[in-house]
Amino acid sequence: MLTIYGVYRSRASRVYWMAGELGLEFQSVRVIQARRLANPLAADAPINTLSPEFLAINPMGLIPSIKDGDLVMNESLAIPLYLARKHGGPLSGQTVEEDGLMTMWTVWAATEVEPHTVKIVLTYDNEKQDTDEGKATISVAVRSLKKAFATLEKHLAENEYVVGNRFTAVDLNIAEVLRYAQTEQALFDAHPNISAWIKRCQSRPAYIAMQATRSQEPT
């Protein structure tokens, strides 16, 4: 059985969403971020990203990780691609070309988009969005995202989804990366194709179910 290490309030949300899309049974091992604990190495500390038992799974000390049989995987954007490819169906690439494009767009999301969107979500997580520092951070991040948004907006003008004109693992990956910036309504309003596309992605039952579980987790 697939084992997912992490919590829903983390990048593991991507993996939980994909497992839901595929209808996979899985065991969830709750591993929280060490930064949320005063002393993550205390004897009575819950398992976290600095716990030796988790570091044996992922020496980088980051969530999510999965164990699927003898295979251990870490990177949150690679795992959905793997699960889609393993289990097949419309969420996976149907040709070598589609596989290549799904990899390309996922790497694009990781390198050109997430470094900026994560600054936005962390500003809100740390309740600094109304401070001068927080406003400056968000402003720079939004400005830095405009080129990437323009690229995706143009692509979605001619395509309902990113690859193959159907929802696939790469739509899930990019939607989860862009979710971190959805507080910035003006940015999305300026890109109507992206706004319509992410609404389609986030209306899927597996996403709604993932978010329902996520909302029940402690912050």
pLDDT digits (tens, 9 = 90+) for 132-185: 999 999 999 999 999 999 999 999 999 999 999 999 999 999 999 999 999 999
User: Has residue 97 got a pLDDT over 90?
Assistant: yes
Q: pLDDT per residue over 25-82, tens digit each?
A: 999 999 999 999 999 999 999 999 999 999 999 999 999 999 999 999 999 999 999 9
Rounded Cα–Cα distance for residues 50 and 44 (Å): 13
Query: What's the confidence (pLDDT) of residue 169?
Result: 98
User: Has residue 218 got a pLDDT over 90?
Assistant: no
Instruction: Mark whether 101 and 203 lie in a shared domain.
Output: yes
CATH code of the domain in which 39 resides:
3.40.30.10
Query: Is the residue at 218 inside a domain?
Result: no
Rounded Cα–Cα distance for residues 137 and 9 (Å): 22
Of 47, 67, 88, the position where a domain reaches its end is 88
Instruction: Mark whether 203 and 124 lie in a shared domain.
Output: yes
AA identity, residue 191:
H
User: Has residue 115 got a pLDDT over 80?
Assistant: yes
Query: Is the residue at 214 inside a domain?
Result: no
Sign of the Cα torsion 95, 158, 195, 209 reads negative
Contacts of 155 (CB under 8 A, 6+ apart): 162
Predicted structure pTM score: 0.96
Query: Is the residue at 217 inside a domain?
Result: no
Q: Share the mean pLDDT of the chain.
A: 97
Of 28, 55, 88, the position where a domain reaches its end is 88
Burial of 204 per CB tally in 10 Å (0-12, 13-18, 19+): middle
Query: Is the residue at 219 inside a domain?
Result: no
Counting the structural domains of the chain, the total is 2
Mean pLDDT computed over 111-116: 98
Instruction: Mark whether 49 and 113 lie in a shared domain.
Output: no
Strand-pairing partners, residue 66, are: 4, 73
Query: What's the confidence (pLDDT) of residue 219?
Result: 77
Query: Is the residue at 216 inside a domain?
Result: no
Instruction: Mark whether 25 and 100 lie in a shared domain.
Output: no
Instruction: Mark whether 203 and 106 lie in a shared domain.
Output: yes
Provide the residue range defining the domain that includes 67.
2-88
- For tokens 């995706």, the residue is 152
